[in-house]
Amino acid sequence: MSVVDTIASVCLVGGALLSMLAGIAVLRFPDTMSRIHAATKPQVLGIVLLMIGLGLRLGTVAIIGELALIVVLQFVTAPVAAHLTVRAAFRGEQEDQDAQPDGLSGHGAEAAGADDTPTEIAHALVDENVGADPDHPNRTVLDRRPESD
Amino acid sequence: MTVTMWICGVLFGLGATFSAIRLVRGPTMIDRAAALDIILAIIVGVLVLIAADTESPIMLVVAVVVALLGFIGSAGLAKLLPRDRR
């Protein structure tokens, strides 16, 4: 077993080990975000290690070109796919928690209810009798109209 | 090289098993999408391992296709899931 074969074996085992670690992590980690974080590792470093191992094993130019194509495809697509997945997970969590308005999700305004529009704030102030008219307790400064009689 | 193949095969098998457990169990669909991503990466790894074992590059074409399918699959899932998550 030559030196090149040994290095190729180490790289192949390293890539396989990363895949197994990602499997353990996706099984054991507590929430969705950390699971996706762990899922990205074998897609980039694991694939690169496997490709290095295979390239050392069958080292012709055409094969190395094909291996480089796979590596470049993984490098371009894996972060995009992970970002899309994490964004979907983030939006889902926001909807689950009925959370505060948030610039990233875009769902915050509906999720937090309609309390934030100016009309609703005015009605909330009316409910607390802020600015109430002392002559007419049910009428406030905000909707005072000219008396018709 | 045979020892390497066995070690890699066992590691890939364990990783795929754990990911499949998460794929069945996962509380949200996003967890299942993450587990599916790992399984697709493992499939690419197994194809590379077959190519290294047989010393023929035929499986690499399949690996390119599977790598692209993984991206299309997870991007489509992430795009379509928020309407029906559970």
pLDDT of residue A144: 53
Written as tens digits, the pLDDT of chain A (149 aa) is 788 889 999 999 999 999 999 999 999 988 888 888 888 888 889 999 999 999 988 878 888 888 888 899 889 988 888 888 888 888 777 666 554 555 565 555 554 454 556 666 666 665 555 555 556 655 555 555 555 55
Closest CA to A86 of B66, B22, B82, B59: B82
Query: Who among A8, A17, A70 is closest to B67 (CB)?
Result: A70
pLDDT tens-digit map of B15-68: 999 999 999 987 888 888 889 889 999 999 999 999 988 888 888 889 889 888
Calculate ∠ Cα A67-A68-A70, nearest 5°: 65
A55 touches B: beta carbon within 8 Å: no
Do the chains contact at B33 and A73, CB–CB below 8 Å?
no
Residue B18: both structure tokens together: 């754990």
CB B30 within 8 A of CB A85: yes
Do the chains contact at B11 and A57, CB–CB below 8 Å?
no
Closest CA to A46 of B8, B78, B19: B8
| pTM of full prediction above 0.90 | no
B68 touches A: beta carbon within 8 Å: yes
Residue B32 has, within 13 A of its CA and on its CB side, a CA count of 12
pLDDT of residue A111: 47
Query: Who among A12, A32, A70 is closest to B31 (CB)?
Result: A32
pLDDT of residue A126: 59
Query: Who among A9, A23, A69 is closest to B16 (CB)?
Result: A23
pLDDT of residue A61: 86
pLDDT of residue B14: 93
B6 → chain A, closest CA residue: A13
* Exposure string for B7-31, b = 16+ CB within 10 A, e = fewer: ebeebbbbbbebbbebbeebebbbb
Helix axes B2-25, B29-54, angle to 10 degrees: 160
**Contacts made by residues A60-68, CB under 8 angstroms, sequence distance 24+:** A62/B57, A63/B57, A63/B60, A66/B57, A66/B60, A66/B61, A66/B64, A67/B60
Residue A30 to chain B, least CA–CA distance (Å) = 11
Q: How far apart are CA B10 and CA A77, in angstroms?
A: 27
